[in-house]
């Protein structure tokens, strides 16, 4: 026997022993790594850890240390096709198809009619959409609902709740609830728990939909069926969408939907979620007045059935045990989940499932099983996989282990020790350079548009406060932020592209070694990468991280990744560094990339520091599927870009508009009166704009802060910007625009804000925005915590004020210290 970590690329092994850690072993089993399963070692990540294995037709990535705990016998008959399960032999306890259906339909027919009516004519047409991650579930949901979607959150957690509707065959509205992707109802991550809780009717805020739409990736039928068969056991009316049938066919593993439907007893509709013209049969199936429920369930040994039934009969709220009647499938499934849980997870899971008095029975039944049926946990999962293998034999002619060849070839390149890194860095460079080159044209058009609008207002209205508010407040403030929309769209386009193609998971695979060095999971890299767009979805995506401490560390450091709101500030300061038309795109791109890199290094450093000090914990388990590469759906990416653009413009039209108006007021009031002069030198005169700004409310705030900001090279006007940017970072740009447009003399040509800033001088004639000050501002913005929305999400996510407060203090404190160091250090060595 050798550990899996000792295999060489291409070598196969048959699993003979799983780790002693029951939690890890159960996770591996549920992903299909059972005793007797053949796995192929594909490759190690470029930094040597983690390892990629192929089994049951998909790629699973685990760390060397965990692979070392799994033992196997070398399978000398290595083949290119990859790992596979042992040839299917129906176990003795598996009854024939027809017999199984007969037995099961009898059992369901005798259960209480309100939960188990065979036909669901009276139930409202509302479907929960469920499936494995990467099964195309959300693509299908988007294709069915179009723009009729509502995006919100499950109260108490920041897991996104997406619901939508479409018009059915008879003109009726059909509701869809898109639940987070899940591998098992055992639910190991917070988003999987949401799916489990909604399906098991455990959430008061989200009633269980009356019907279920299961989405299966036909090219990974066996792995997908593990979760789907669990869902089918709930006994709810179900329709199955068999997605990616084209991919399965191209792989040489076509699935017969009719045979699968016959086996499962529910409609199975072949679809290609990316092609809307294939969805009509599914729409018709979902519109049906009557949808059957499945009769499928695995054939368990009598010991296991008895144990699950004993627990189910003691479940709170269950009527007195009656051995003549079968259990309610919902309670029975809850009992099975609790029975199979690892000991360490039991107390929490029991509370989540509202198990109450059943807990004692669970522990007693486990003890009995340990005595009477050694290896019963393995048998529990194996029974399901045996049933699934039987299904695959019927619908697909067997279980298929062939991996997508294109994916293998691309992975040979993209996770290569040298080429993998070159591609990764190249993709990042391309993204940041594109932000400057492509975005420049639409930015110029938007800028010219706002200038024209401003001139138009000035030409149409007589001078007065309202005109000043419209031109110097509204147009300058909102225009100053909207101009960066093209850059933000390009950023979202690239992130969407990386996610849609499947490269994001490879980035996590590549980076896991680095992440594990700072005590984090490779999965933490994805929230961190998402935080380049916005920290809020980044923080929301930490729900996939199982360990609470790792999740908290990721939440705490995610805002250090430079989000799109920082982009306008970076772009403005870079524009202030080089006069218009000078400085190459490459230099500006390199500086921008350097700022992003600095934020990333800071995030990793603080993650390491927190894991070593306040949030000490062992490096977490890494178990991740590497999905096949897919051609990105341009429609999906573009619609997501426009969704984001709509949200950005809505912010510009509400929050930023409101802040611009209030800032204009603060910068323009109280009004200074005409000063009375006594001699030639003190002639009565209209106060200048600078004098007005100095005496304004904003001026007072800025000057109060000036002593603290002066050591960083910032004056009181920049101080006004920093105060306003506490609402949202991009407001800094709008504020600078308001502050300096307020100062602009009448008749001055409207100028690009960067040019305007470069012209500003201190009383001693030196430029306000010297290279050192610009650098100091940039450093401050890289590190400081300046987004109220992010802090609100962190508070909700951590359910405490302590962590957002800590986050604000450590980030802003670091920003201040490093800006101070850069500015004062720079002056000491002769810069200015």
291 vs 791, beta carbon nearer other proteins = 791
Helices (H) and strands (E) in the chain, counts: 36, 14
Q: To the nearest whole angstrom, how small is the minimum distance from the Cβ of residue 683 to other proteins?
A: 23
433 vs 661, beta carbon nearer other proteins = 661
Q: To the nearest whole angstrom, how small is the minimum distance from the Cβ of residue 61 to other proteins?
A: 27
149 vs 695, beta carbon nearer other proteins = 149
47 vs 469, beta carbon nearer other proteins = 469
Q: To the nearest whole angstrom, how small is the minimum distance from the Cβ of residue 127 to other proteins?
A: 19
Give the integer Cα–Cα distance in Å for 810 and 644: 29
Give the integer Cα–Cα distance in Å for 271 and 17: 39
Q: What is the secondary structure of 659-691 as a DSSP string?
A: HHHHHHHHHH-SPPPPBPPSSSTT--BPPPHHH
Per DSSP, the three-state class of 738 is: helix
Q: To the nearest whole angstrom, how small is the minimum distance from the Cβ of residue 332 to other proteins?
A: 33
Give the integer Cα–Cα distance in Å for 474 and 662: 10
381 vs 637, beta carbon nearer other proteins = 637
Q: To the nearest whole angstrom, how small is the minimum distance from the Cβ of residue 120 to other proteins?
A: 28
Cβ–Cβ < 8 Å for 12, 39 = yes
Dihedral pair phi/psi, residue 486, rounded to 5°: -55, -40
Q: To the nearest whole angstrom, how small is the minimum distance from the Cβ of residue 797 to other proteins?
A: 9
Cβ–Cβ < 8 Å for 727, 471 = no
151 vs 805, beta carbon nearer other proteins = 151
Give the integer Cα–Cα distance in Å for 380 and 148: 42
The encoded tokens of residue 129 equal: 């959409």
Q: To the nearest whole angstrom, how small is the minimum distance from the Cβ of residue 204 to other proteins?
A: 13
Give the integer Cα–Cα distance in Å for 418 and 425: 11
26 vs 693, beta carbon nearer other proteins = 693
* Spatial CB neighbours of 362, under 8 Å, sequence gap ≥ 6: 311, 335, 338, 339, 346, 350, 355
Q: What letter would DSSP give residue 712? A: G
Q: What is the secondary structure of 592-633 as a DSSP string?
A: HHHHHHHHHHHHHHHHHHHHHTTT--PPPP-EEEEPPP----
279 vs 787, beta carbon nearer other proteins = 787
Q: Tell me which residue of 821, 749, 646 sits closest to 151, measured CA to CA.
A: 646
Q: To the nearest whole angstrom, how small is the minimum distance from the Cβ of residue 369 to other proteins?
A: 42
Dihedral pair phi/psi, residue 362, rounded to 5°: -55, -50
CA of 607: how far to CAs of 519, 527, 560, 602, in Å?
7, 13, 11, 8
Within 10 Å of residue 724's Cβ, how many Cβ atoms?
28
254 vs 538, beta carbon nearer other proteins = 538
In angstroms and rounded to an integer, the radius of gyration of the C-alpha atoms of the chain is 31
The encoded tokens of residue 817 equal: 């210290």
467 vs 700, beta carbon nearer other proteins = 467
Dihedral pair phi/psi, residue 126, rounded to 5°: -130, 125
Q: To the nearest whole angstrom, how small is the minimum distance from the Cβ of residue 161 to other proteins?
A: 10
Q: To the nearest whole angstrom, how small is the minimum distance from the Cβ of residue 532 to other proteins?
A: 13
Q: To the nearest whole angstrom, how small is the minimum distance from the Cβ of residue 142 to other proteins?
A: 11
Distance, C-alpha 496 to centroid of its chain? 11
619: left (phi over 0), alpha (psi -120 to 50) or beta: beta
662 vs 752, beta carbon nearer other proteins = 662
114 vs 463, beta carbon nearer other proteins = 463
Cβ–Cβ < 8 Å for 199, 210 = no
Four-residue CA torsion sign, 775, 776, 781, 783: positive
* Spatial CB neighbours of 602, under 8 Å, sequence gap ≥ 6: 557, 560, 782, 783, 814
The encoded tokens of residue 292 equal: 């059957």
Q: Could you list the residues that contact other proteins (CB under 8 A)?
A: 147-153, 155-156, 158, 160, 461-469, 534, 536-537, 540, 564-565, 643-644, 646-648, 650-651, 654, 657-659, 661-662, 664-665, 787, 789-790, 792-793, 795-796
615 vs 645, beta carbon nearer other proteins = 645
Give the integer Cα–Cα distance in Å for 832 and 4: 59
Give the integer Cα–Cα distance in Å for 567 and 729: 9
53 vs 648, beta carbon nearer other proteins = 648
Q: How many residues does the chain have?
A: 832
197 vs 263, beta carbon nearer other proteins = 197
89 vs 147, beta carbon nearer other proteins = 147
CA of 568: how far to CAs of 324, 547, 573, 589, in Å?
70, 35, 9, 14
Q: To the nearest whole angstrom, how small is the minimum distance from the Cβ of residue 205 to other proteins?
A: 9
Q: To the nearest whole angstrom, how small is the minimum distance from the Cβ of residue 702 to other proteins?
A: 19
Q: To the nearest whole angstrom, how small is the minimum distance from the Cβ of residue 726 to other proteins?
A: 13
Q: To the nearest whole angstrom, how small is the minimum distance from the Cβ of residue 795 to other proteins?
A: 8
Q: What is the secondary structure of 313-372 as a DSSP string?
A: HTSTTPPSP-TTSPPPHHHHHHHHHHHHS-GGGHHHHHHHTT-TTHHHHHHHHHHHHHHH
Four-residue CA torsion sign, 219, 222, 223, 229: positive
Q: To the nearest whole angstrom, how small is the minimum distance from the Cβ of residue 123 to other proteins?
A: 25
β-partners of residue 238 are 212
Q: To the nearest whole angstrom, how small is the minimum distance from the Cβ of residue 537 to other proteins?
A: 4
263 vs 499, beta carbon nearer other proteins = 499
């Amino acid at each position: 026997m050798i550990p899996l970590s000792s295999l060489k690329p291409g070598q196969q092994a048959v699993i003979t022993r799983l780790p002693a850690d029951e939690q890890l072993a159960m996770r591996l089993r549920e992903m299909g790594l059972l005793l007797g399963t053949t796995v192929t070692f594909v490759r190690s990540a470029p930094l040597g850890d983690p390892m990629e294995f192929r089994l049951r037709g998909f790629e699973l990535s685990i760390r060397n240390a965990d692979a070392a705990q799994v033992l196997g016998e070398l399978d000398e008959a290595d083949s290119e096709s990859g790992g596979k399960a042992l040839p299917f032999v129906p176990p003795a306890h598996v009854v024939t198809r027809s017999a199984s259906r007969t037995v099961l339909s009898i059992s369901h027919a005798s259960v209480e009619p309100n939960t188990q009516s065979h036909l669901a004519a009276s139930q409202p047409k509302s479907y929960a959409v469920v499936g494995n991650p990467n099964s195309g579930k959300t693509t299908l949901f988007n294709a069915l609902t179009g723009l009729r979607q509502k995006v919100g959150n499950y109260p108490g957690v920041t897991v996104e709740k997406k619901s939508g509707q479409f018009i059915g065959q008879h003109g009726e509205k059909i509701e869809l609830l898109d639940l987070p992707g899940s591998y098992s109802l055992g639910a190991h991550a917070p988003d999987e728990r949401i799916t489990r809780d909604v399906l098991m009717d455990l959430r008061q805020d989200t009633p269980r939909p009356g019907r279920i739409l299961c989405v299966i990736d036909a090219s990974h039928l066996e792995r997908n069926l593990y979760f789907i068969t669990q869902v089918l056991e709930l006994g709810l009316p179900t329709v199955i969408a068999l997605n990616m049938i084209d991919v399965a066919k191209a792989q040489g593993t076509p699935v017969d939907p009719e045979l699968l439907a016959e086996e499962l007893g529910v409609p199975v509709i072949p679809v290609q979620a990316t092609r809307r013209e294939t969805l009509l049969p599914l729409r018709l199936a979902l519109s049906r007045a009557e949808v059957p429920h499945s009769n499928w369930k695995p054939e368990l040994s009598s010991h296991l059935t008895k144990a699950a039934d004993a627990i189910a009969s003691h479940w709170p709220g269950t009527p007195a045990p009656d051995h003549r009647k079968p259990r309610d499938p919902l309670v029975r499934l809850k009992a099975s989940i609790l029975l199979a849980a690892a000991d360490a997870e039991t107390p929490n899971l029991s509370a989540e499932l509202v198990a109450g008095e059943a807990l004692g029975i669970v522990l007693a039944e486990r003890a009995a099983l340990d005595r009477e049926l050694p290896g019963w946990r393995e048998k529990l999962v194996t029974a399901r996989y045996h049933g699934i293998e039987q299904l695959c034999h019927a619908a697909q002619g067997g279980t298929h282990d062939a991996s997508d060849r294109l994916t293998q070839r691309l992975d040979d390149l993209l996770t290569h020790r040298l080429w993998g890194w070159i591609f990764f860095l190249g993709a990042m460079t391309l993204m940041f350079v594109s932000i400057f080159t492509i975005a420049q044209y639409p930015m110029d058009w938007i800028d010219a548009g706002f200038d024209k609008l401003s001139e138009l207002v000035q030409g149409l209205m007589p001078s007065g406060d309202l005109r000043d508010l419209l031109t110097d407040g509204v147009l300058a403030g909102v225009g100053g932020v909207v101009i960066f929309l093209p850059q933000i769209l390009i950023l979202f386009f690239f992130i969407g592209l990386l996610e849609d193609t499947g490269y994001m998971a490879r980035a996590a695979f590549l980076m896991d070694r680095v992440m594990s060095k700072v005590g984090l999971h490779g999965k933490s890299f994805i929230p961190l990468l998402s935080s380049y767009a916005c920290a809020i979805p980044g923080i929301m995506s930490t729900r996939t991280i199982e360990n609470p401490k790792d999740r908290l560390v990721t939440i705490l450091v995610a805002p250090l990744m430079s989000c799109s709101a920082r982009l306008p500030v970076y772009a403005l300061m870079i524009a202030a560094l080089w006069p218009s038309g000078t400085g190459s795109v490459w230099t500006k791109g390199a500086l921008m990339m350097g700022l992003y890199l600095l934020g990333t290094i800071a995030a990793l450093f603080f993650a390491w520091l927190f894991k070593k000090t306040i949030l000490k914990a062992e490096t977490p388990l890494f178990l991740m599927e590497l999905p096949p590469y897919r051609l990105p759906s341009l429609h999906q990416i573009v619609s997501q870009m426009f969704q984001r653009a709509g949200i950005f413009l809505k912010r510009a039209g509400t929050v930023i508009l409101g802040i611009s108006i209030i800032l204009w007021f603060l910068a323009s009031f109280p009004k200074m009166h005409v000063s009375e002069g006594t001699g030639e030198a003190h002639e009565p005169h209209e106060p200048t704009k600078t004098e007005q700004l100095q005496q304004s409310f904003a001026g007072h705030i800025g000057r109060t802060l000036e002593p603290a900001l002066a050591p960083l090279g910032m004056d009181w006007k920049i101080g006004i910007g920093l105060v306003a940017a506490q609402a949202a970072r991009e407001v800094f740009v709008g504020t600078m625009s308001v502050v300096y447009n307020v100062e602009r003399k009448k008749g001055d040509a409207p100028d690009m804000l960067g040019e305007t800033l470069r012209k500003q001088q201190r009383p001693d004639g030196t430029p306000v925005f010297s290279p050192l000050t610009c650098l100091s501002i940039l450093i401050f913005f890289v590190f400081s915590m300046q987004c109220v929305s992010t802090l609100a999400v962190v508070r909700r996510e951590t359910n405490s004020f302590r962590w957002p407060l800590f986050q604000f203090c450590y980030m802003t404190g670091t920003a201040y210290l490093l800006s101070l160091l850069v500015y004062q250090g720079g002056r000491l060595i002769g810069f200015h």
